[in-house]
A and B are shown apart, each in its own frame.
Chain A
Amino acid sequence: MHPVIQGVLTIVIGVGGCVGYFYFSNMILDKVIFPARETRPNRTIGLPVVFGLPTLALVLGYAGPLVLQALAGEASMISAVFAVAVTAMLAYYLLKFALWAFPVDTVSPGDNINRANKVRPWLFLFPAMFALGLYLAYPVVGSFWRSLFDRSGANFIGFGNYMDLFAGSSFRTAVFNNLMWVLVVPAMATFFGLLVAQLTDRLKWGNIAKSLIFMPMAISFVGASLIWKFVYSANPDIGIINATRDFFGMAPVDPVQIPFWNNFFLMFILVWIQTGFAMVILSAALRGIPEETIEAAIIDGANPFQVFFSIKVPQIMGTIVVVWTTITILVLKVFDIVYTMTGGNFGTHILPSYMMTYMFRDDGRATAVAFVIMILVLPVMIWNIRQANKEMR
């Protein structure tokens, strides 16, 4: 089939499926399950269909086999216990729902409408909740689960992977480096972004300058790393740093091999990329400041620096925090730069790149690192969402 037709078909099926789902699910709810007339629920059929059959399917298809395997020593006990717990919980809620949907007494039309309206929000929420569960919640739980197993995935070793991680010096280096990244990159990107936003605000060619500074945002991290590989090249004919040194008669150096400081050379690449993002958001925020508060400050005698730091910055503090935390979250995810520039050598590992070195070799360890990263991102994320919500109000 021609790919265009495939694409169109996908759209038609996708959109049609969505519309169809909402249309028919609501219709079944209003016409069949809770019709707007007096109904006499049939418990003897309803309970087995709504509660009995799904529970039976869960027991036979999921929990049962796992328990048998565990008893036979083919699967771990933990996963069997987990399966039983999940099945029991689902069965409990199914029973509750079935008892509510099929009461003993007859149901008046009004009650039926009320009950339909109680179920309706869940109809609308279901697709989103299902997708989020499948692509977000399940991976988190699944990763954590996987991180408790050894390299082959067959043997449960508890927190063994985590113990090994914290005992290893390269992990500690990665944590320390990552900490530096988290402190330096968002701070510098936000600072430069704010600076550029303020300086280009009134310039005629400010928009051109802003476009140029924003451009790195469009380059992939790997692409940007390649560009900077040239900049940092040890060959004076290629790298601008060594070309400059050469001009003054100094011997070439390889910046990415200088211990400790090489981290900052790598960080600068991300700063270069993210300054554009900070600039765009902060520029919009600066323009949102009421002009009159600035004029009032000028009349009050504030000099340009005081206007900037005492009047403008405090008024856009919320936006600055959002930008800062957004970049922080990004920093905790970027592995490309380290991976491309040094591969983690010369003491430049950060958590994501460290995770990548274990991926496919030892998934237990890699998922453990992933989980550590998630725990580290979580507080920043919560703060970020809170601030963003506050800004929207």
Chain B
Amino acid sequence: MADLKLTDVEKAYGDVKVLSNINLDIKKGELIVFVGPSGCGKSTLLRMIAGLERITGGELQIDGMVVNDIPPAQRGIAMVFQSYALYPHMTVRENMAFALKIAKKSKQEIDAAVNRAAKILQLDQYLDRLPRALSGGQRQRVAIGRSIVRDPKVYLFDEPLSNLDAALRVATRIEIAQLKESMPDSTMIYVTHDQVEAMTLATRIVVLAGGGISQVGSPLELYNRPENEFVAQFIGSPAMNMVPGEVVETGAQTVIRLEGGGTARADIPTTGADKGMKVNLGVRPEDVTATDGEDFLYRGEVEIVEALGELTVLYFKPDGREKPFLAKLPGTHAEMRGQTVKLVADPAKVHLFHNGRSLLYR
């Protein structure tokens, strides 16, 4: 139930900077998700907020107070670890009560807090069991319960679902979403590499890459208006197609001639000076449609067809491209294998990038 403010936060190991220029304002009641490829420093950033890693530069404020040098326990945070980190020798009840016991709370107070958390997480029947007698999902709920009893200002989740199997992951994800809804005032920071978790849970997503913040925004903002090529390709699955090209006509609508002989229109305004500019055209696999007309954005031979029933994913022959061009068409198109297919896209749904940055954000 607090605001967080990160100002120029930086993490260095010796001379090696792994994180720098992290500026972030987190409002009370938000659920912020840190996503990024592995090794981007998202867990490190979370651990810096928790106080488990020293902040080597910049400032971290919780509720207006600088907490850089305040020990974790006094920051008012609670953390849920990827491996649950339950104390194996304590029962569920003792696990959840540990923090309160350390804080020398009265027995009634501890019991009340534990019972309340157990009720929320449906752990009432398991309170006297040891963690090893619980399933993975139950253990994760205990870990969450351990956070709830402390009534922290900020909840920190470090990839809490990645140790669960697929079905349980979906169920637990929904439980976390419901938990957040039942505690609208609590601030949560959630680290994951799974973009579905990020898209479904977040009020805002922070995409981290290369030791810095790539973009911050609501899930749909990131999907619809990615600031750069990295975010464009990181959010959305399968990833956005990139086709290099050149601006040939400018104005309210821009016309681009693409490598491979295609042309495309984009509802992105450009000025006369932009004529001849090298751009990368980004179009999501779900935003293209097959066409018989003269004009096309991309033309290629279909190499692989993945028919999923409701939709079909087409993989085109790479023809010198790094990654194959992908198209996601509704319905079943098993017959398209080996055929040459032409594709077009809605001008409102294509993205243009110059030097990796979106032209929308010039």
Contacts and interface: CB of A to CB of B under 8 A. Distances in A.
- Chains A and B come from one and the same complex: yes
Interface residues of B, number: 25
Contacts of A293: 85-88
A305 to B, nearest CB: 11
B77 A299 contact: yes
Interface stretch (A1-9, A194-202, A309-317, A329-337): A309-317
A105 interface: no
B79 A290 contact: no
A293 B83 CA distance: 9
Interface residues of A, number: 17
B70 interface: no
Given A299-B52, A301-B73, A315 B89 contact: yes
Interface in B68-107: 71-74, 77-79, 81-83, 85-90, 98-99, 102-103
A254 interface: no
A298 B102 contact: no
Nearest to B81: A292
A292 B87 CA distance: 10
Contact of A290 (B51, B85, B98, B146): B85
A300 B73 CA distance: 6
| Residue in B72, B77, B78, B89 with the greatest tally of chain A CB atoms within 10 Å | B89
B83 A299 contact: no
Nearest to B80: A296
Interface in A251-301: 290, 292-293, 295-301
A306 B98 CA distance: 11
A302 interface: yes
Nearest to B77: A299
B131 to A, nearest CB: 10
A293 B85 CA distance: 5
A285 to B, nearest CB: 13
B72 A299 contact: yes
B87 A295 contact: no
B140 to A, nearest CB: 13
Contacts of B87: 293, 296-297, 311, 314-315
A311 B94 CA distance: 12
Given A292-B83, A295-B52, A299-B79, A317 B89 contact: yes
A290 B52 contact: no
Contacts of B191: none
Nearest to A310: B98
B102 A300 contact: yes
A300 B85 contact: no
Contacts of B79: 295-296, 299
Contacts of A311: 87
Nearest to A289: B88
Contacts of A297: 87, 98
B86 A299 contact: no
A296 B88 CA distance: 12
A96 to B, nearest CB: 46
A174 B72 CA distance: 54
Given A292-B83, A298-B72, A306 B102 contact: yes
B344 interface: no
Contacts of A300: 73, 98-99, 102, 146, 150
A297 B71 CA distance: 12
B50 interface: yes
B103 A301 contact: yes
Interface in B101-148: 102-103, 146
Interface string A352-385: 0000000000000000000000000000000000
Given A295-B81, A302-B102, A314 B72 contact: no
A298 B88 contact: no
Nearest to A317: B89
Contacts of A298: 52, 71-73
B299 to A, nearest CB: 52
Nearest to A311: B87
Nearest to A296: B85
Interface in A325-352: none
A38 to B, nearest CB: 54
Contacts of B81: 292, 295-296
A278 to B, nearest CB: 20
A263 to B, nearest CB: 36
Contacts of B83: 290, 292
Contacts of A314: 87, 89-90
A310 B89 CA distance: 9
B89 A299 contact: no
Nearest to A291: B85
Contacts of B86: 293, 296
B313 to A, nearest CB: 38
Contacts of B90: 314
Nearest to B75: A299
B49 to A, nearest CB: 11
A297 to B, nearest CB: 7
A301 to B, nearest CB: 3
B163 to A, nearest CB: 11
Q: Which of B51, B72, B103, B150: most chain A CB closer than 10 A? A: B72
A383 B146 CA distance: 35
A290 B72 CA distance: 19
Contacts of B82: 292
B85 A301 contact: no
A296 B146 CA distance: 10
A361 to B, nearest CB: 52
Nearest to B149: A300
A292 B51 CA distance: 14
B85 A295 contact: yes
A347 B78 CA distance: 60
A298 B82 CA distance: 16
A364 to B, nearest CB: 49
Contacts of B102: 300-302, 306
B45 to A, nearest CB: 15
Contacts of B77: 299
B88 A299 contact: no
Contacts of B72: 298-299, 301
B205 to A, nearest CB: 25
Given A296-B79, A299-B99, A301-B73, 20 more contacts: A290-B85, A292-B83, A295-B52, A295-B81, A296-B81, A296-B85, A297-B98, A298-B72, A298-B73, A299-B51, A299-B52, A299-B72, A299-B73, A300-B98, A300-B102, A300-B146, A300-B150, A301-B74, A306-B102, A314-B87
8 contacts: A292-B82, A293-B88, A295-B81, A296-B85, A296-B146, A299-B79, A302-B73, A302-B98
Q: Enumerate the 7 nearest inter-chain pairs by beta-carbon distance, A residue then B residue, closest first.
A: A301-B73, A292-B85, A300-B99, A314-B89, A296-B85, A301-B102, A299-B72
